[in-house]
Amino acid sequence: MPRLTPCLVFLALSSATFAATFPKPNPDKTFADQKVFDAAGRPWRAAQEDWAGAKQRVATDPAWTAWLTRERASVDAWIAKHHDHVEWAGGWSHDGVSPVDGSELIWTEKIPREEAQTIKSRAGDDVQITDLIFAWWVVEFRGRHVDTMSRAASLYRLTGDERYAAWVAGQMDFYANNLATWKTLPTAKNSPLFWQTLTEASNLVKFTNAVRLLGDYVAKDRLAQWREKFFAPEVKHLNATFQNIHNIATWQRCAVAQVALLFHDEAMWRDALDSKFGLRAQMDQGITSDYLWYEQSLGYNNFVVQAVCTLFKAAGVAGRAAELAPEMMTAENLMLSPLYLRFPNGQLPNPADNKGIPTAPNRDVYASVYRVFPTVIGLEAIAGRRDWETLLDPPPAPPHASSLPAITSRNFESTRMALLKSGGWQVFFHYGQLTRSHVEAEALNYSAFYGDTDITHDPGVVGYGSPLYKGYYQRGLNHNVPLVSGEGQEPPKSGELLAYSESPASVAAAQPDYRKDSRARRSLAIDGNNFVDTATIESRDGQPLKLGLALHVQGKVKLADTFGADKAFAAGRPEPFKYWRNVSGANFHDRAEFDVDYGKGVIVHVTLTAPGDFKLWHGSSPDVPPKRRDSFYLELAAPAASATFTTTFAPTAKP
């Protein structure tokens, strides 16, 4: 259980709700400079659907007329060519990865094994189609198919063309009549249509919207059949899983709430919102006082925002947005909070597992939620865009030009993170974890920028279906952390914040239970134009341990001639070591020094100190696929009861 700090307290609430882990006072006033308030002082709005106005726009505005022509052609082409199959078993969306380097596969409309024998990866490899990859393709296809149902239902509502309504209703019959059959497939033990409850929930939102848009076209007895044979089993399935605080649980509760709105089921609505792990609990306990998602991956901030906004939009159209006002204000802050963590180039730190490196602001996300959170950034990004949302709920012009907030040193204690900003340096420190979900062996890891130069970063992870996910990206060697016998921290551990200062910029934290046999602590400081890291790792019982340190840089290292090739680098070491290439090593005493060239005139002199004799290896390690980067592994020559490693980054030019 996380150590309770002033930011981690439990509030006593009425018996109608549950313990709120993270206090969030005055959410409407937080990040106010990034919000657009209405005349009543609300930063949120109720989404609308103006069908009469939409019909006028497509009839009188040439640009909208052209858009409608393209939309009809696209939907018509899909309907003419594509059909779902009862015998197609869905798989995991994360299995669409290359076995070579974990790169994502590029989905195409060609049916695997019938119309295509291989699938391209984003790295350019031709990947043979396995059963897992075929099942991944099915899930991707099915998601597009259901999305087309929603688009076709919108075309019916806009144009009155019953051909679209008939097709959507026919597809709904197909899924309702065959859901029980999909449940019998061996791969359906988690979810019948989409293998995973997360994908089941996100697509249930689309099914629900499609049926809502059909309106009175559907006879009551037919609708009742859909409810009995499809929607009720789906809701029962989603409610039986993920009864906890989790990003997937949030998607599931939001999907169920929208089914409740479709069928005017008040009991289902209340349960989706107010049950022990309903939406309100997800917002209270899943979002920290820093307005960061407690699973810590910053990618999940936007993912949860996208989940709740499907519900917020549906509630607005149903006239029930005001019931969710507290949750909407909290969710908007969840979307905005990463702005205050961004590096100079917009790149974000990357704690926990997240595919690739996120950026802020994510203008696509801001644009996608303008109907609920009309930020200046979102209104700028959505301007001129033509799609169903802007047709039905036209965005206003932004009230002024957007501007991003200044970055300052901050301690995000309730999320176990800190940010240092001084001179040319900006450093992110991840000193603890709050939950096991999406955790990595990375406590005490750091990332750093000098000016707009990426000095060292966390590359995130690959798709969960890749062996590199657990074999490398989640492990200590992938992070800037101290290692014991080649392994990093055993998570999850909240850690202890020992000290924090904005001026001079410094932070220190400890992991008393770093591993079963060891404890660790680290201090980071910006000292003038230098950045200094001091990491200590020590045995918990005084017995000697094999102690080391991993360090990754985003520039090219200038190695001394003393480094020699080491083809046995991975021998006798944990699995992550086998993924390094072109490894060479050299012996040192007390200190090692080298330059790293980052291009554009930025050269950083790096000094590593360690007690006594040690060996330093250099190699090429996996970065964000298919990229690789220069990395170091330092290990003491002999086991020791403790060691302190100091790393000093000294730029030779101003940022």
Distance between start and end Cα atoms, the chain: 42
3-state secondary structure of 250: helix
Q: Above 80 in pLDDT, residue 15?
A: no
Residue 418 lies in a domain: yes
More confident residue, 242 or 655: 242
Q: How many CB atoms lie within 10 A of CB 558?
A: 11
Q: By residue range, what is the domain housing residue 449? A: 410-651
| Separation between Cα atoms, residue 510 and residue 549, nearest integer Å | 16
Q: What is the pLDDT of residues 75-88, one digit of tens each?
A: 999 999 999 999 99
Looking at residue 471, its amino acid is: G
Reply yes or no on whether the pLDDT at 220 is more than 70. yes
How many structural domains are present in the chain?
1
Q: Is residue 128 part of a domain?
A: no
Whether the predicted pLDDT of 653 surpasses 80: no
Please tell me the predicted confidence (pLDDT) of residue 399: 95
Quick one: which of 482, 413, 408 has its CA closest to 633? 482
Nearest-angstrom CA–CA distance, 296 and 475: 16
Render pLDDT for 330-361 as a digit per residue (tens, 0 to 9): 999 999 999 999 999 999 999 999 999 999 99
pLDDT given at position 12? 27
pLDDT in tens, 292-308: 999 999 999 999 999 99
Closest of 655, 34, 628, 32 to residue 345, by C-alpha = 655
82 domain-assigned: no
Say if 622 falls within a structural domain: yes
The tokens for 636 are: 């003491």
pLDDT at position 18 is 32
> Does residue 46 have a pLDDT over 60?
yes
Residue pair 573/556 in contact (Cβ under 8 Å)? The answer is no
Q: Closest by alpha carbon to 100, among 642, 655, 640, 625?
A: 625
pLDDT score at 17: 32
CA distance 66 to 77: 17
pTM over 0.85: yes
Q: Are 493 and 515 in contact (CB under 8 A)?
A: no
* 466: CATH: 2.70.98.70
Indicate if the pLDDT at residue 6 is higher than 90.
Answer: no
Split at pLDDT 50, 70, 90, the class of 21 is confident
The identity of residue 571, as a single letter, is: A
Average pLDDT of span 1-18 = 28
Going by C-beta distance under 8 Å and a sequence separation of 6 or more, which residues neighbour residue 160?
Answer: none
Please report whether residue 536 resides in a domain.
Answer: yes
Q: For residues 595 and 603, what is the distance between their CA atoms, to the nearest angstrom?
A: 7
Q: Is 479 within the bounds of a domain?
A: yes
Q: Name which of 36-45, 117-126, 517-526 the model is least confident about.
A: 117-126
pLDDT over threshold 70, residue 20 = no
The 10s digit of each residue's pLDDT in 61-109 is 999 999 999 999 999 999 999 999 999 999 988 889 888 888 899 999 9
Structural domain includes residue 190? no
pLDDT above 70 for 203: yes
Neighbours of 454 (CB within 10 A): 19
3 state SS of 388: helix
φ/ψ region of 264 (left if φ > 0, alpha if ψ in -120 to 50, else beta) reads left
β partners of residue 447: 428
Q: pLDDT tier at 38 (50, 70, 90 boundaries)?
A: very high
pLDDT the model gives residue 364: 95
Q: Render pLDDT for 455-487 as a digit per residue (tens, 0 to 9).
A: 999 999 998 888 999 999 999 999 999 999 999
Indicate whether 2 pLDDT > 60: no
Query: Per this entry, what is the length of the chain?
Result: 655
Q: Give yes or no for a contact between 490 and 520, defined as CB atoms under 8 angstroms apart.
A: no
In a domain, 382, yes or no: no
- Amino acid at position 386, single letter: R
At 3 the pLDDT is 27
Tens of pLDDT, residue by residue over 589-599, are 999 999 999 99
Q: What is the pLDDT of residue 417?
A: 98
3-state secondary structure 614-645: EEEEEEEEECCCCCEEEEEEEEECCCECEEEE
70 class by beta-carbon count within 10 Å (0-12 exposed, 13-18 middle, 19+ buried): exposed
pLDDT averaged over the chain?
Answer: 94
Per-residue pLDDT at 190: 81
Q: Is the pLDDT of residue 10 over 50?
A: no
